Amino acid sequence: MEAVVVIDILEDFVTGELKCERAKGIIPNIKKLIEVARKKNFPVIYSNDAHLPTDFELKKWGKHAMRGTRGAEVISQLKPSKDDIVLEKRVYSGFFETGLDSVLRNLKVDTLVLTGLHTNMCVRHTAADAFFRGYRIVVPQDATEAFTEKDYKEGLEYLKNVYNAEITDTNKIVKRWEKK
């Protein structure tokens, strides 16, 4: 079973405190992926920063995606639907103290399609933890972004070289799913 993971497509990362100008371009592709996944009954999982004021990560980045604020909400174009799973995280990895692993195991998921922000940070750390736990990793390169082209490119290379991620694109995944 495959699941789509949507990482940090939150107001603060797309429009607010830690805005990534390049994020806009990937929104239609993530939308396409989650719509087809829902239609095919593949789990759609949101992995969202939801920081507490005591979080260590804020020392590096300043306040962002603070739990309960608008900045921590998923952007309006990609709002979760009622059957999606929404998990809060407080560090880069979507696995760290979030319960994601048991959710995936209960759903018999063995492959993660990782999307969202940023290729070289939260996507990378989520991929690391997925790899350690034996999940196969697929990354549609037109559904993830980073602050700069360099960060994005290096992020993808790292995912491929270190976590054996299949780097592909949205249309190829959608086409494959539609045949299932």
Closest separation in Å from C-beta 61 to Zn ion: 6
| Closer of 57 and 151 to Zn ion (Cβ) | 57
Give DSSP secondary structure letters for 105-137.
HHTT--EEEEEEE-TTTHHHHHHHHHHHTT-EE
Q: How far is the CB of 13 from Zn ion (least distance, A)?
A: 9
CB of 23 to Zn ion, least distance (A): 15
Closest approach, Cβ 100 to Zn ion, in A, equals: 16
User: What is d(CA 61, CA 3) in angstroms, rounded to the nearest whole number?
Assistant: 29
Residues 34-53 that bind Zn ion (CB under 5 A): 49
Neighbouring C-alpha atoms within 13 Å toward the C-beta of 7: 31
Strands 111-117 and 2-7: parallel
Binding mask 119-148 for Zn ion (x = CB under 5 A): ------------------------------
- Which residue's CB comes closest to Zn ion? 49
As a whole number of angstroms, the distance between CA 53 and CA 137 comes to 32
Give the footprint of Zn ion on this chain (CB under 5 A). Answer: 49, 57
